[in-house]
Amino acid sequence: MKADETPAGVTPTRASDQRRRSDEHRLMAIVEYDGSEYVGFQVQNSGRTIQGEIERALAEITQHETRIVGAGRTDSGVHAKGQVIHFTVAWNHPLSDLQRALNAVLPRDIAIVKSREAASGFHARYSARSREYRYTILDRTVRSPIANRYAHHCTKPLDEHLMDRACACLVGTHDFLPFGWPPRGDSTVRTVLRASCARSDESVLIDIEANAFLRRMVRRIVGNLMLVGLGDLSVEAFGSLLSLGHRRTPGTQAPAKGLCLMKVNYN
């Protein structure tokens, strides 16, 4: 048999396929984005998405289609400082070069903040222990053109101390049916690890950390917390909302622009 012949029964392997396997990396990255101009994180049938833009950038740089997985499917108009993604990519240069290349071709409202090799078995969504969201409310009489994209404007003063007391009712494992819809399955039970409300200058900041969230859960919670802050709903009445068997809460859903995924925590 000649040196360049392939033994019978063995399928020839192209050099490009061998190179691709040896150069594959499973990476995790932290992504920051302004969600104002997007219909959400997850790819959809129509409209620009964060996932779609990152996958487009990866295809442009590597010349291969690459699917990314995010830790959370943020809704249309929601922002992120600490979204986490993972993906497998063929790349035979320093990984820092890939991050620089991605940031060079991504839209200005999306950035890869950090990236590194992912641990064996790491999954951006299923490996997450908890997620932290922040909702920002600007409570002053006059609107702020600068803060408008990232904060909900309330023209009446809010009592952040009453709102913080109401936040304590959320901590623990509860059925959050009154505040949202499950992204998959039927269970609406979630565990809130931490919830607080505090003032920072002219803004009221609501921070909630949970093992997972229902769709629209934070925004519906915020809408009812604002009633507490305005004096239209008592702390006790807010706590009793968790026992409702329906989603007809007195507060309206807060706008998406005030919500930001701050951090995803892993073991």
Q: Where are the domains of the chain?
A: 15-117, 129-266
pLDDT tens over the chain, length 267 residues: 444 444 444 444 444 444 445 578 999 999 999 999 999 999 999 999 999 999 999 999 999 999 999 999 999 999 999 999 999 999 999 999 999 999 999 999 999 999 999 998 999 999 999 999 999 999 999 999 999 999 999 999 999 999 999 999 999 999 999 999 998 778 999 999 999 999 999 999 999 999 999 999 999 999 999 999 999 999 999 999 999 989 999 999 999 999 999 999 998
Q: Is 219 helix (H, G, I), strand (E, B) or coil?
A: helix
210: β partners: 131, 192
pTM equals 0.90
Would you say the CATH fold of 129-266 matches that of 15-117?
Answer: yes
Q: Give residue 110's pLDDT.
A: 98
CA atoms of 76 and 246, how far apart (whole Å)? 24
Fold classification of 15-117 is: Alpha-Beta Plaits (3.30.70)
128 sits in which H/E element:
strand 128-139
Q: Give residue 185's pLDDT.
A: 79
201 is catalytic: no
Could you name the CATH architecture of 129-266?
2-Layer Sandwich (3.30)
Q: Give residue 184's pLDDT.
A: 79
Which residue's structure tokens are 């984005």? 33
Give the number of other CB atoms < 10 A from CB of residue 134.
Answer: 18
CA atoms of 38 and 136, how far apart (whole Å)? 19
Pairing assessment for the beta strands 128-139 and 152-154 based on DSSP bridges? parallel
Burial of 164 (0-12, 13-18, 19+ CB in 10 A): buried
CB contact at 8 A, 50 and 109: no
Contacts of 217 (CB under 8 A, 6+ apart): 176, 179, 180, 190
Q: Give residue 22's pLDDT.
A: 56
Which residue's structure tokens are 């979630």? 190
**List 17, 23, 34, 75, catalytic entry:** 75
Q: Give residue 21's pLDDT.
A: 52
CB contact at 8 A, 65 and 84: no
